[in-house]
Amino acid sequence: MIPTPDLSHLSAQDYEHVYEPAEDTFLLLDALEADAEELRSLKAVVFLEVGSGSGCVSAFAGKILGPSALYLATDINHRACDCTRRTGSQNKVAVHTINTSLTTGLHQRLKNSVDVICFNPPYVPTMSTEASEAQDLRGIEGSWAGGSDGMQVTNTFLEVVHELMSPTGRFYLVAVKENNIPKIQSRMENLYQLRSKIILTRRAGREHLSIVRFEHTTAPTL
């Protein structure tokens, strides 16, 4: 087993401002661990975590992909970027953070170059105004308030993720039942030729969590 990253450097005060790893985080770690051998075979050059929070996922990916990959992590919350850098350092993974939103041209700067992408979005259904305000405030609320069907922020990223992915790239998305996962899968295949598979599911209280893995339809099956 790949050990869970050491987060002992983060305090209760940090978690007042940054999302603390929970069942959705750990399900994503389990999905990456299940795919570890295949991910290593990709010989990934670039890893990207969108909405990195504590940096737990990026640090975990570093244990799979090794030191030769470039680790990038984005978050709209500057405190999350700080925590991510510290978590990388604590776990000996050099994570480069970018304090940015989803719509600042990142997909153009990294066009077709990212081999592994992870996104644990704000997926909780809320009022649309609540999600917009949470994104504007750039605080911890932005890690969970998802707007209509919990898809307001996710939809923005789904429009550009295919431009980020390398020809053999993989994209891991955390979603809940309320997000209408079959609709997401159909949309991504029809519009962007990304095939997908639900690779893990888990109940966590009232949430029915899933990890959906996307690849280009022309990518080889490992």
* 3 state SS for 74-130: EECCHHHHHHHHHHHHHCCCCEEEEECCCCCCHHHHCCCCEEEEEECCCCECCCHHH
**206-217 tens-digit pLDDT:** 889 999 999 999
Angstrom distance (rounded) from CA 128 to CA 44 = 37
Beta 194-204 vs 95-99: how paired, if at all?
A: unpaired
Query: What sign does the dihedral 86-91-95-100 (CA atoms) show?
Result: negative
Q: How far is CA 200 from CA 31, 178, 197, in A?
A: 7, 16, 9
Cβ pair 2, 60 in contact under 8 A: yes
From 67, 65, 48, 40, select the one nearest 106 (Cα to Cα). 48
Its pTM stands at: 0.94
**Fold adopted by 14-216:** Rossmann fold (3.40.50)
The one-letter amino acid at 75: D
Task: Report the run of H or E that residue 50 belongs to, with start and end.
Answer: strand 46-50
Each of the 222 residues of the chain gets a pLDDT tens digit; together they read 899 999 999 999 999 999 999 999 999 999 999 999 999 999 999 999 999 999 999 999 999 999 999 999 999 999 999 999 999 999 999 999 999 876 566 767 788 899 999 999 998 888 889 888 888 888 888 887 888 898 999 999 999 999 999 999 999 999 999 999 999 999 999 999 999 999 999 998 888 999 999 999 986 655
Please return the burial class of 221, using the count of CB atoms within 10 Å of its CB with bins 0-12, 13-18 and 19+: exposed
Coil/strand/helix, residue 206: coil
Q: Which residues of 116-131 are buried (b: 16+ CB within 10 A; e: fewer)?
A: bbbbbbbbbbbeeebb
**168-205 tens-digit pLDDT:** 999 999 999 999 999 999 999 999 999 999 999 999 88
Structure tokens at 75: 């978050």
